[in-house]
Amino acid sequence: MRKIKLRTLFVITMMLSSVFVLASFSGNAIDGTTTNQTKDIRSSDYLLKRTFLFGRVQNMSGEGNYTTVETVNLRIIFFKPVQFFHYTTGETITFSNQFIGMIRPDRFLMGIFTVVLPINTNSIAVMNTTMGAILIELYEDKTPITTANFIKLTNDGFYNGLVFHRVIDDFVIQGGGYYPDGTEKISPYGPIDLEINPAVHHLDGTIGMARTVDPNSATSQFFIDDGAQPYLEPNGSDPNGYAAFGRVVKGIDVVRAIAKVDTMIKYGFMEDWPVNDVIIESITIINS
């Protein structure tokens, strides 16, 4: 019994050590995929991300330079931002064959892999701005009302050409309500009910709904947290909290850059408006 426990402890220690060792090399690892190959799978070369994967898989199949597996009990770690996910039987993950690690077909894999997003049934919003692209996983499984509203507006092209009109470093970048000339744009669908899921927190890169003092007043304006903002949750700065409905999975560096732009008062009363407008050129919803 003692030998078994020591062996288990050794395996766990080695796995945890691998996380930190591989993470230190993840930024320099070479991704051998090409834009055309990526487009064949998910239509955008943005949908690739370095991750650490470990756990059990089955039904492995390959196509070109990519491999798809069905998860049995698999963990995935994103490094930028740091996020932990757990996938169980029935979900599939596609990754590039350019990886650092090991694979035992239909049994086990561990190492640094370049996965193709989305990696679950939730949609990905690809937000193209004048300062770069931000990819956001929308938590349709946890916040169906809020995500449906955002997706409906996005598919209408509502956000195209609007600006981030409120930018505060180490707090939020807020947009979805104004044109560059200060003209307000009103959602044609009206307000939605406040939707709070206790499993969704205001972490670094979380996207949430802006609103007035009325908890059920959110329409189209959203914000992205620049750093964790726990006081935006229920019983923080407001007893009702602010609805969080997704999180940045790629492009947190773009969020940081936007948050640091110089701001001023514009149009007489709009505080924290960037001196040089940061425009949302388009948002595209990609389904798995």
Distance CA 123, CA 118 (A): 7
Q: What is the pTM (predicted TM-score) of this model?
A: 0.79
CATH code at position 131: 2.40.100.10
Domain count, the chain: 2
Q: Write down which residue in 59, 88, 116 finishes a domain.
A: 116
Identify each DSSP E strand in the chain by its residue range.
Answer: 48-63, 66-79, 82-88, 92-96, 100-104, 108-116, 124-129, 132-138, 164-168, 172-175, 206-209, 222-225, 244-250, 263-266, 270-274, 280-286
Its domain, for residue 239, covers 124-286
| Residue 10 or residue 234, greater confidence | 234
Mean pLDDT value across residues 66-79 = 90
Per DSSP, the three-state class of 2 is: helix
Per DSSP, the three-state class of 57 is: strand
Same domain, 168 and 45: no
Q: Write down which residue in 76, 98, 116 finishes a domain.
A: 116
Q: Write down which residue in 92, 116, 140 finishes a domain.
A: 116
Mean pLDDT value across residues 106-119 = 90
Same domain, 197 and 129: yes
Is residue 24 over pLDDT 50? no
Average predicted confidence (pLDDT) for the chain: 85
